[in-house]
Amino acid sequence: MKYIDEFRQREAAQGILKKIYALSGKKVNIMEICGTHTHAISKYGIRNSLPSHIRLISGPGCPVCVTSAGDINRIIEFCKREKNTIVATFGDMMRVPGTESSLQEQKAMGKDIRVVYSPLGALDIALANPGKEIILYAVGFETTVPTVAATILLAKEKGIQNFSAFTLHKLTPPAMKALLDSGELDLHGFLCPGHVTAIIGANAYKFLAEEYQAPCVVAGFEPLDAIHGLYMLIKQLKEDRVEIEIQYKRVVTWEGNTRAQRILEQVFEICDSNWRGIGKIPMSGLRLKNEFADFDAEKKFVIEAGIDEEPQGCACGDVLKGLLTPNQCPLFGKICTPESPVGPCMVSFEGTCAAYYTYGISQPILTG
């Protein structure tokens, strides 16, 4: 298939769903680890098209959502304190509430906080404002990190001294391991994210099959991709196979993007990281190497620890762990809406609550 419409053909989707109905018979729990999958599954009614004994559980695959309340409070307090700085960040982070405020509210109160569409946008701001310090507030999984790393390399090459990054990047496979280690979920397999895997390569999940007996299928984000990926996963379970498979072969390889990996490894090193709802996961984050300390906002400035306290009544932590669906949160759709979000899962395009709220109970593609 060459064109996007071909990946959205209703008849083709119905054909694959019929195969799923024919294959499946036992109860299985499958986690779609990525927020973009959650969005596609909700938008196209895939969840409600599956047999009732196949349960899709949404995982912690939204980089905005998994940023802890404490780390959001840290940057907000930094903005309040520092006078000669400009904080640049991606759009979704503006509206994510900390315990008492958000970056958007701080901007309304006069703090210089700007939305950028790429890390290079922050570098442009630094070049245009030589008398100010520019801090890139950067979140994201493996997909985003190479562009941040390339920006820092460029800043170093050009000798730009008023630019630094406060990075809260996270790694996907350690979070999957942490969910399995927690024992809180009875998971039978993962639908893995295509864009993250395009960078890290499908080999990164082999330990899940070998050590945890958890099959994985890397799938794309069009409805046919997601349905076909689920079919491949259910076929594995039916045949008692435990393998890593790639559905998204037009983008993903086993080795990943080795050039992006080299840039990432040149600038960053692995560290522990704090995830909203999950807590500290060993070796699940990235920090700048010492040779890039001049571009590390945490070393250049004092960014004090923030209060790691969720907004009152917010269940985002349990939603991110797959323990609750959004409509099981008492705030969902009442106090917490996209117009007035209480937690991050309602803010981001990739947030589970936003997907459930936007698409509700979508019409199934095929009824069983």
Sign of CA dihedral 287, 37, 350, 69: negative
Per-residue pLDDT of the chain (368 residues; tens, 9 = 90+): 777 788 888 899 999 999 999 998 889 999 999 999 999 999 999 999 999 999 999 999 899 899 999 999 999 999 999 889 999 999 989 999 888 889 999 999 999 999 999 999 999 999 999 999 999 999 999 999 999 999 999 999 999 999 999 999 999 999 999 999 999 999 999 999 999 999 999 999 999 999 999 999 999 999 999 999 999 999 999 999 999 999 999 999 999 999 999 999 999 999 999 999 899 999 999 999 999 999 999 999 988 887 888 888 899 999 999 999 999 999 999 999 999 999 999 998 889 999 999 997 545 554 43
Amino acid at 225: D
Which pTM value belongs to this model? 0.92
Q: And the tokens for 296?
A: 């590390």
Residue 367 is predicted with a pLDDT of 41
* CB contact at 8 A, 295 and 163: yes
Residue 284 makes CB contacts below 8 A (sequence gap 6+) with 170, 171, 174, 175, 178, 272, 273, 275
Residue 57 is predicted with a pLDDT of 96
Residue 19 makes CB contacts below 8 A (sequence gap 6+) with 231
Q: And the tokens for 116?
A: 């950028």
